[in-house]
Structure 1
Amino acid sequence: MWIRVWHSNRNPQLILSYYLDTIQKLGHMPMVTQSDPGTENYGIANAHTMLRQWHDPALQGTLQHRWMRSKKNVMPEITWSQLRRRFTPGFESILDRGVDEGWYDSNNTLQVMVFRWVFIPWLQRELDAYQDRINNTAKRRDRNKVLPHGVPSLIYESPEDFGALDFKIAVEQNAIDHVRALYIKPDHPVFDLVPPNLGDHIQLCYEQMGHPIVDRDSVWRVYCDLLHMLQHGADDPTLLVVSGDDDEELEELSLLNNYQDLPFNEDGYYMGGVGGGSDGQVRFGPVL
């Protein structure tokens, strides 16, 4: 549903924003969310629980999120492994080239900021293309799997055409707005690619360069040219850099208290609410 590159992956507000942006775009949410037990996922656990209870009051008192211990969060781990194998190596070699040539020093704040400004949007475009390709390519058929076979995006949009059930739950925009206002501060620095004043300065330099295309062949050249302009311009760009400790991003977020864990059967399938569905029927559904 999303693959994001950013200068932080630890802030629960940032991680939650990815989830809320996704379900807002889709117009629906899963029955249950699932993740590793890291505190960066507390925002999703809390927000999804509130959203599910907003739409189904019978779920009050249960945490609508499942914590998976090490090596148990299988589907995301498979996806991450495939990304590391298929996508990452070629881009790592591109990044290593700049480090080996001495173009980038992680201890130089200005270089770090220019690197973020140039490389993060480019890598995000590459990740978006990878995501689109994976979602629209049929996976190799595996007769040992009971999951539907075919193009993932088609299965997701029309599961009934593949003999599967549809567990997507429509979500109201005002519900999303409520949890977003409750848990996310839109002016938090973690949402800035670089400090805004410096970003404006870099953008001006980029425009003066004629908006050069940024791709795998030109990305380091654009970075070096921008850095040179900034370092030799009339204004001192270091004055626009707000230095700070990355740990300042890690604001504590507590998990909802006194919520009962969801019931699952021995095969790991969710069994509706506590004791089954609100109509007394036990429902089995995949964890998404």
Structure 2
Amino acid sequence: MRDMISLMFHEHNMSVSRSVMQEYFITYEPQLVRQRKANRLQRRRFWAAGVNDIWAVDQHDKWLRFGLALHTGIEPFSGRILWMKVWHSNRNPQLILSYYMETVENFGFIPMVTQSDPGTENFGIANAQTMLRQVNDPSLQGFVQHRWMRTKKNIMPEIAWSQLRRRFAPGFEGLLNEGVDSDWYDPDNTLQLMVFRWLFIPWLQQELDNYQARINNTRKRRDKKKVLPHGIPELIHTCAADYGALDFKVTVNRGAIDHVRQLYINPNHAVFELVSPPLSAFMELCYNELGRPPVERETIWTIYRSILELIRQCEEVPAILMVIDANDTVENGEMALLEGLRNLPETDYYMGGVGNGMGLQPEHLTALDAFEADEPHVDGNYNEIDAEPLLFAEFSDAEDDEHDEHGLDDRP
């Protein structure tokens, strides 16, 4: 309910009351209300420390049937979405690492640990996070600074995907299915797939960017069962002290970032190409010939079909398709994990990196008591990066329900 109100305000500059929106959903979307009330998710619990203790990453494969692959990074304590990406792959370790490195470059810092499901696509992030942490703290030598989460334990990204599927995906899936059901688009047809990628992926990425901005700048509903700070995720992430929380970010210099990027990412790898350069240039010419119409929900399939028809009329299509086939064979590539490293110690609940994975130490409790009492900070003998006081936070996959009795879809 509040998501749709926020959508109307941020994207359409319309202020709609809750009662009006509630009446609309009860009248026109009763199945969504029933689905919301069903609350089918089962609770699972997850403990973390303060802001930037953990960054959790995960892929989402529900749109692979359209040739679309999703990936996200979440800062669990604040709930801030760090990235929400759509591309034609989410299994290439260089591609996944590029999302992490782009975020690190923008922020200028890294978390204490990163976290993901097991999978070779995450080896790049695990290696980069470990190297950057060890540059700042040599005492971490011998331990990988990444948590490998087993099945059904990477909870915060699961929550993000659940929210996306309820708030964002249904309307867009309807649009995508329209093309498939109308026989305009067959993902197994190479030319159709390439035109689809070239047109739909940039547009969908813009829509995901807007969705990310709305989530990051919308206050979450208070929940007395959680000890998370209550507020706007982006503000909690950037101003942790204002919410009684600690920020564990580890500042990294540009030289270290550039070194890791050069070591692990080949910018000329085919996975970074939306489509092959010759075909991209030709589609740009076709788009120009159409007068560069705005790409919107109402026009995107018409533009797709028009570009496809112009390409089919071209005598150079067979040569272009040969280039596509040559590039399309290059998919994931391999990346080895750093050798000789042990996993961080594991506890029953704590999954962060404070205390080299062990969590709260006595000096943290002392500092936290002073912090909660709003007393002046007393300098200790501990490193401010690795051992600031922290506040444990609990998450569960009921996070996305938060006592709202009415459902919604963030339809385009």
Scaled to the shorter chain, the TM-score interval is: over 0.9
Larger Rg, first or second structure (1 or 2): 2
Q: Which amino acid is the alignment partner of residue 317 of structure 2?
A: P
Q: 1:237 aligns with which of 317, 342, 345?
A: 317
2-structure distance, mates of 1:245, 1:180? 23
CA separation in 2, counterparts of 1:248 and 1:211? 31
Cα separation, 2, equivalents of 1:153 and 1:282:
23
- Of 199, 205, 220 in structure 2, the residue corresponding to residue 139 of structure 1 is 220
CA distance in 2, matches of 1:237, 1:53: 51
Between Structure 1 and Structure 2, which shows a larger proportion of strand residues?
A: 2
Residue aligning to 2:342: 260
Runs of 4+ in 1 over 3 A off after TM superposition: 244-248, 274-287
Question: Cα RMSD between the aligned structures?
Answer: 2.2
The separation in 2 between residues aligned to 1:171 and 1:282, in whole angstroms, is 17
Give the match's secondary structure for 2:306: helix
The superposition leaves residues 25-70 of structure 1 with CA deviations (integer Å, 9 ceiling, x where unpaired) of: 1111111100001110011001110011112112111100000000
Query: Which SS does the other structure have where 1:243 is aligned?
Result: helix
Tell me, yes or no, if structure 1 residue 272 matches structure 2 residue 355.
yes
Amino acid at match of 1:254: A
Question: Do 1:28 and 1:169's aligned partners in 2 also have CA atoms closer than 8 Å?
Answer: yes
User: Following TM superposition, by how much is the alpha carbon of 1:238 offset from its aligned partner in structure 2, in angstroms?
Assistant: 3.5
CA contact (8 A) 2:347 2:358 kept: no
* Number of matched pairs: 286
1:116 to 193, 197, 201: 197
Unaligned runs of 5+ in 1: none
Range moving further from structure 2, 242-251 or 145-154: 242-251
Show CA shifts across 1:198-254 (max 9, x none): 101101111121111111111101100111111113x42341232158663221211
Give the TM-score normalised by structure 1: 0.93
Q: Distance between the aligned counterparts of 1:258 and 1:208, measured in 2?
A: 57
Q: What pairs up with 1:20-169 in 2 under 5 angstroms?
A: 20-169=101-250
Give, in whole Å, the separation in 2 of the partners of 1:105 and 1:157. Answer: 44
- Equivalent pairs: percent with the same residue? 56
Equivalent in the alignment of 2:94:
13
User: Where do 1:192-231 residues align within 5 Å?
Assistant: 192-231=273-312
For the residues of structure 1 that align with 2:205 and 2:357, how far apart are their CA atoms?
Answer: 40
Q: Which runs of 5+ in 2 are unaligned?
A: 1-81, 362-380, 394-412
2:322 pairs with 1:251: no
For the 8 Å contact 2:344–2:356, the answer to whether it is kept is yes
Measure the CA separation in 1 of the matches of 2:83 and 2:329.
Answer: 25
AA matched with 1:106: P
Aligned-pair distance for 1:272?
2.1
Using the size of structure 2 for normalisation, the TM-score is 0.66
